[in-house]
Amino acid sequence: MKWMAVGTASIAGLSLLSSCDSDKREAFFQDQFKELDENELKAVLERLERGYKKEYNADIEVNATAPMDHVLFGYGLDLSKCIGCRRCVYACVEENNQSRNPEVHWIKVLEMEKDKGADLLHSDVYYNPEQVPEEGHFYMPVQCQQCKNAPCVKVCPVEATWTEPDGIVVVDYDWCLGCRNCMSACPYGARKFNWASPEIPQEEINIHTEYLGNRPRAKGVVEKCTFCIQRVRQGLYPACVEICPVGSRKFGNLLDEQSEIRTIMKNKRVFILKEELNTQPKFYYFYGT
């Protein structure tokens, strides 16, 4: 039995090696992102763009923008303002090329009762009234908290996920095995798995992508919020900040004392989610009023 399995594997390997599709061969032997030198990286990005052109018939650009010096990203969310309209959920889907079917959402908005406070066990993610906010309720959007002490990073058996110098926890989708250890380690439910090959309408594809961010993913890999790495490394606000109709979402550089996020941390009542787990998130909930 074992001999047969080895035999089959080597036949598969040989057919791959002898395949005339050099892109497939290159993809098979591609190194982990951090081990690629400049030329290799360039070749990988070009190959990905060729592949996406074939797959999606769109001119998708794949960049690998380096983090900025002296920048550590932090996020603020004003619980006293959020009305639970879910505009952020769908702006994120479009910006980050998430699968529409099966549906992948990087942001979950939890509806909670004011009487019970921030009680995750009794929260409702499926609320659907005519209009929000509903009487007696408040809303708590949850997405990747970009932990400094990230449990998901620790459990990855192949180092396919790590924390970048600017604080963003990223995934190398080409290195991810799909074992989903990270998903069970994350206490925020922030990581999503592509159970099937993602479906993105061709006309809705965002062609400005990052290797470690919003480039289209494949079936069998894990993905998550990256603070819109393709936007924030260009100096732009994340898509969820831009879309929020009530201005409850704040973003900036934690190392800059004058930034909005630092001003909030200094002046407002701030808390982090599940502080007791020592994950040290860089996502700060606060009460603006």
Partner 1 sequence: MPVQLNRGIILVSLVLLEITACNPFIQANQDDHISSPQHRDSVADSTKLIPVETFSSDYFPCSDCHSEIPLNPQRRELVEMHDDIVFDHDSENRWCLACHNESNRDSLVLAGGKLLGFNESYKLCGQCHGPKIRDWKLGIHGKRTGQWNGQKQYLLCVHCHDPHSPKFKKLQPMPPPRRPEDIKIDSIYEREEKDSTSP
Instruction: Please give the residue ranges that form the binding site for partner 1 (CB under 8 A).
Output: 78, 83-87, 89-91, 95, 101-103, 105, 108, 125-133, 196-197, 199, 208, 219, 232, 234-237, 239, 241-247, 250-253, 258-260, 263-264, 267-268, 288
CB 217, CB 184: distance < 8 Å: no
For residues 226 and 232, give the distance between their C-alpha atoms in angstroms, rounded to a whole number.
9
User: Cβ of residue 51: shortest distance to partner 1, in angstroms?
Assistant: 14
Closer to partner 1 by CB, 36 or 83: give it. 83
Closer to partner 1 by CB, 36 or 241: give it. 241
User: Cβ of residue 65: shortest distance to partner 1, in angstroms?
Assistant: 10
Closer to partner 1 by CB, 175 or 227: give it. 227
* Edge-to-edge order in the sheet of strand 269-271: 249-253, 73-78, 283-287, 269-271
Closer to partner 1 by CB, 30 or 259: give it. 259
Closer to partner 1 by CB, 158 or 196: give it. 196
User: Cβ of residue 157: shortest distance to partner 1, in angstroms?
Assistant: 27
For residues 135 and 112, give the distance between their C-alpha atoms in angstroms, rounded to a whole number.
11
User: Cβ of residue 235: shortest distance to partner 1, in angstroms?
Assistant: 4
Using only C-alpha atoms, what is the Rg of the chain? 21
CB 218, CB 101: distance < 8 Å: no
CA-angle at 91, arms to 85 and 92, nearest 5°? 110
Look-up of token digits 């889907």: 93
User: Cβ of residue 85: shortest distance to partner 1, in angstroms?
Assistant: 5
For residues 181 and 188, give the distance between their C-alpha atoms in angstroms, rounded to a whole number.
14
Look-up of token digits 């066990």: 121
Please give the backbone phi and psi of residue 234, each rounded to the nearest 5 degrees, phi first.
-100, 5
User: Cβ of residue 87: shortest distance to partner 1, in angstroms?
Assistant: 6
Closer to partner 1 by CB, 85 or 277: give it. 85
Count the residues in the chain: 289
